[in-house]
Chain A
Amino acid sequence: MTFSILASTAPILAPRVGKLAIPGRKTLATPHHIPLTSRGTVPHVAHDVMRDHTEINSLYAGLEDFIAKKEPSVYRTPVADHESPLKKFICVAEDMPLILGPRRFPPIPCPPANTNTSIALLTSVGFTQLSAHDYVKAIQKLRPDIAVGMVDLANKQPGSKRRGKMVDRTHAWTRDALEQLYGDAVAEKDKSKSAYFAPVLPLDNAQQSLYLDDLESEFRWDISGLALYESASLEFVPESLAGLPRLLFSEPETPHTILRDISLGADLLTTPLLGASSDGGIAMEFVFPAPAALQEGKSKPQPLGIDMWTADHATDISPLGEGCECYTCKNYHRAYIHHLLLAKEMTAWALLQVHNFHVMDTFFARVRDSIQHGSFEQDVQTFARVYAPSMPESSGEGPRLRGYQLPANGPNQPRRMPKIYGALDDAIQKFADAQSEIATPDTDASGLEEHGFAEKL
């Protein structure tokens, strides 16, 4: 893997444009967002839709999505020598850059504690521990293009003792992983081809200085990038490691936050707000740099997205985004998306994902242009002035969430879903599932009459 920096004003804490090239893979221009997968799929985006109607050119997968069973099938995927069993298993093309981490992103907090040799994670059948050793084995077997190192993260604000542990464990895991993947004891032909991104803990510089020192010296030539868990860490990147790509695992709530992280020097970013918007029925609407037409004399900030649940879209046959070139906008319209959401049809989320991915991909492409033109700082300011500070609220329900997508039940947590059926009403539930096509009117008699559906007596 090679990472070349094409435009940058300072080694750290400055926006930069780069190119991440892995032989035989699609090249990634940075800054870029990393599409997040769930069980190997980009949620609601079928493989052919992804191939034909999106520009998705990299994927992130969490190992926990594949190891529910004692002997996970993913390890038995038949492949040729040069192929990645994980890519083959999830049925994506070999030239798709794939990043593997121990956990999906965003991860569901696990009540069980991490240990000195393992981290707690959540598979579709429950909590389990993944040892650092097994994770390295997984990297060797699954051959992702990029492997994110195992990191000891705390569920809540760690105290000083916990912080010490975090550093010690992560330090040890990184050392061992690099030794097992690329060490002198490994025969040349068995050395891992996966690029290793070493974690930087979400702690102060001083607290992890020993570890960072080792990254700069002993580990330097075995690591290909850095994985960061909060944007504040971008400040602690040692200058000698400035040439490495930085993958930031964070949950920016708005494009404003994304821009801030980019301006602090993030190269690859996770943007769970993309999928969350689609699930919530929000069509993203922001363009970077803010179009000139929007910049003039507008007193009201421009919304970052449209809530497709609201009734004003019912008969609106215009596309989600004016002039938008995405598949959804070229073939469907607001009235249809609105109808699909109300009818709880899966197609709604599929079409919104296609649109939102297009908006996000375009956004990042324009950000790269802007950095290269040297107008980034000014464009960010204008963007902040023109657009609303937060995404619009969704007024509807999202898709049904599965256990592995939800936080654990605790004694003091509210129920995930309202209780509808009694313990013995399993049969009713099954019947309801079997009848899932059935719609019931959600309007009263006058509403039905207005719809021309029937008349009142």
Chain B
Amino acid sequence: MSTTTAPSHKSMPSALTFDRHAKCSTTKARASTLHLPHGSVPLPIFMPVATQASLKGLTYDQLRETGCMLCLNNTYHLGLKPGQAVLDAVGGAHKLQGWDRNLLTDSGGFQMVSLLQLATVTEEGVRFLSPHDGSPMLLTPEHSISLQNSIGSDIIMQLDDVIATTSPDHARIKEAMDRSVRWLDRCIAEHKYPERQNLFCIIQGGLDLELRKQCCEEMVARDTPGIAIGGLSGGEAKEEFCKVVHTCTEMLPEHKPRYVMGVGYPEDIVVAVALGADMFDCVWPTRTARFGDAIVSSGTLKLSHKSFADDFGPVEEGCTCTCCRPTDQGGLGLTRAYMHHITAKETVGAHLLTIHNVHYMLTMMGKIRQAIIDDQYPAFLRKFFSDIYRGDKSNYPEWAVGALRGVGVDLLADS
């Protein structure tokens, strides 16, 4: 990986090993295993988001039961509550929340910029006004890494200069890309525990493919244990999203995990996997659960709708999650009718649907992985879209058809 213009970088210690088991013979999809300090994670994987060190009402045994091996915490939120001093005193986020599997933390940059209106990004870091007393403050890459060192997450993310991908200001996009590279160097320098925490870089560059390529080149040269593609899921057109992922994965080394940040609709995931991405996170499955929406293979079910009031089947027939599994198979045998009865009314409704939705996402990832290993991923894709659109190809989203055509799968062709 020393094909870059950057001065040679000393190789970074890594706290992970990446075993690639199979590559789809048609698409760019990969099946692999990521060995992290708190256990092995099958890739491709979806990571549920336990923002504030808790997954929406679930105990960690309930989360374990869904098969989850790696979940997210948010540096921004943990930095506010409980704060670095507490994290240090308790001994990190694993200890705090009683989770003995892997954690990934984002850097907090995204939340900074999207949540705090008065944030401005300078070379030093993100300047913002304290929401409480209005005094000016500064969050630097060093702060972010130091916090993530205290959190002790297995994968930590660099602080990047996040701007909306839809920004029309090309100069600003380039500046953000260049700055993210410079900040990566500062993050690497600040990182205290590279032998037990894996720092991932974040590729920026908006929707400009040339900038993305430059960024890939620069960042790959820094040899971080894993690579994230950032700045997406910000409302850009799906076509553009696919182009960016496609372009980046072309440039990325085969032997490192690739994480597309903030992406989590099932359709986006199956396409991004075909484009060569391995890891995904999104709050959507857990958030939508709290609004009473169940994810199923035909899309989502709005269980608060009255049509489910008398529906005494499981949330999804054949689903093996704790909620859907019949009682004689050790499950709870919950019905759509009962979920309708408690959804958005009792917190338990949110807990149970969160279990189902996370389990659904992880099972889907498992099926994706198996299909890749069996070299059946194109067939998987065809069935996946056929299930969601009930076989009506005229409803298939154009962006997905186009993106998959680019990697050799024609969804519209007769199978």
Contacts and interface: CB of A to CB of B under 8 A. Distances in A.
B337 A453 contact: no
A345 B54 contact: yes
A44 B132 contact: no
Interface in A426-440: 434, 436-440
Given A49-B62, A78-B312, A439-B52, A445 B133 contact: yes
A339 B53 contact: yes
Nearest to A451: B83
Contact of B347 (A346, A404, A437, A445): A346
A41 B84 contact: no
Interface residues of A, number: 72
Contacts of B335: 89, 91
Interface stretch (B139-147, B189-197, B220-228, B385-393): B139-147
Contact of A43 (B60, B133, B347): B347
A338 B82 CA distance: 9
Nearest to A349: B347
Given A346-B347, A451-B79, A454-B138, A317 B130 contact: no
B253 interface: no
Nearest to A314: B86
A76 B55 CA distance: 34
Interface in B58-117: 58-62, 65, 76-77, 79-86, 89-91, 95-98, 111, 115
Interface in A48-91: 48-49, 51-53, 66, 69, 73, 76-78, 89-91
A343 B89 contact: no
> Which of A44, A46, A52, A91 has the most CB atoms of chain B within a 10 A radius of its CB?
A46
Interface stretch (B31-39, B297-305, B338-346): B338-346
Contacts, number: 220
A53 B60 CA distance: 13
Given A41-B346, A46-B57, A332-B98, A454 B341 contact: no
Nearest to B290: A436
B320 to A, nearest CB: 14
Given A317-B90, A444-B133, A445-B137, A91 B347 contact: no
Contacts of A457: 127, 135-138
B235 interface: no
A342 B82 contact: yes
Nearest to B308: A73
A335 B90 contact: yes
A190 B85 CA distance: 67
Interface in B324-356: 327, 332-335, 337-338, 340-342, 345-352, 355
Given A91-B335, A350-B57, A448 B137 contact: yes
Nearest to A328: B59
B309 A69 contact: yes
A45 interface: yes
A441 B130 contact: yes
Contacts of B332: 47-48, 51, 91
B310 interface: yes
Interface in A309-339: 314-315, 317, 327, 331-333, 335-336, 338-339
B337 A89 contact: yes
A331 B60 contact: yes
The 5 A-B residue pairs whose C-beta atoms are closest, nearest first, are A452-B84, A451-B83, A346-B57, A315-B89, A445-B130
15 contacts: A39-B346, A40-B341, A46-B57, A46-B62, A48-B332, A76-B312, A78-B312, A331-B59, A345-B53, A348-B54, A442-B81, A450-B85, A453-B79, A456-B136, A457-B138
Given A39-B341, A439-B51, 18 more contacts: A44-B351, A47-B352, A48-B355, A51-B332, A91-B334, A93-B327, A315-B86, A317-B90, A339-B53, A340-B54, A342-B81, A343-B81, A349-B347, A350-B57, A440-B131, A445-B137, A453-B80, A456-B138
